[in-house]
Amino acid sequence: MVIDKELKARNAHLKDKIEKIKVIITDNDGVLTDTGVYYSEKGEELKRFSIRDGMGVERLRKHCNIETIIMTGENSSSVKSRAEKLKIEEYYLGIKNKVDVLEEVKFKNLITEENIAFIGDDVNDLDIMKLVGLSAAPADAMSYAKEVADFVCQAKSGNGAFREFAELIIAFKSKN
């Protein structure tokens, strides 16, 4: 694919990091969603997710045998529903300190930090972004998240940023 060649050429400096990736962890709000939440008198009603990001989850699984994990500070039923729709079996809701959960992820998946990719967008993602093997941020992430990210997406949160990061990994790791 032409896109694969362009991604690989622009990001050749990440080749060694990408080759070690076995799992990708994503934040939810500000990565998988567009940062908007719709409220009614009943409380939180809706969050918008990108279908393209969902295809990124499927393509990582199919082409690279890489599972996606959601780790978010929110405790929202919409996240659980989205994870189930995408057949994401491992997700963590209501996590205030993501680094604390990193040990559990490593143990469950028999991996080290260098085998983990993480995409996040805000201050609560910085510590984990600094620890993992490969980190990314959406185009509209907070500036400090973009500063620590190995890869800054051209796409915005909830509008294909996860998919772009997934395609980067697929470009280097896919056997097809």
pLDDT, one tens digit per residue, over 110-155 is 999 999 999 999 999 999 999 999 999 999 999 999 999 999 999 9
pTM to 2 decimals?
0.93
Q: Is the pLDDT at 176 greater than 80, yes or no? A: no
Helix (H, G, I), strand (E, B) or coil at 1: coil
**116-119 and 23-26 strand pairing:** parallel
pLDDT, one tens digit per residue, over 27-45 is 999 999 998 877 778 776 7
Q: Alpha-carbon distance 28 to 48, whole Å?
A: 11
Phi and psi torsions of 163, nearest 5°: -60, -40
Dihedral sign, Cα of residue 154, residue 157, residue 161, residue 165: positive
Helix (H, G, I), strand (E, B) or coil at 75: coil
Report DSSP state, residue 24. Answer: E
Q: Alpha-carbon distance 88 to 132, whole Å?
A: 20
pLDDT, one tens digit per residue, over 51-93 is 999 999 999 999 999 999 999 998 888 899 999 999 999 999 9
Going along the chain from its start, the domains and CATH numbers come out as 2-173 (3.40.50.1000)
DSSP 3-state percent helix, strand, coil across the chain (nearest 5) = 45, 15, 35
pLDDT confidence of residue 122: 96
Return the ∠ at Cα 55 (arms to 40 and 17), rounded to 5°: 110
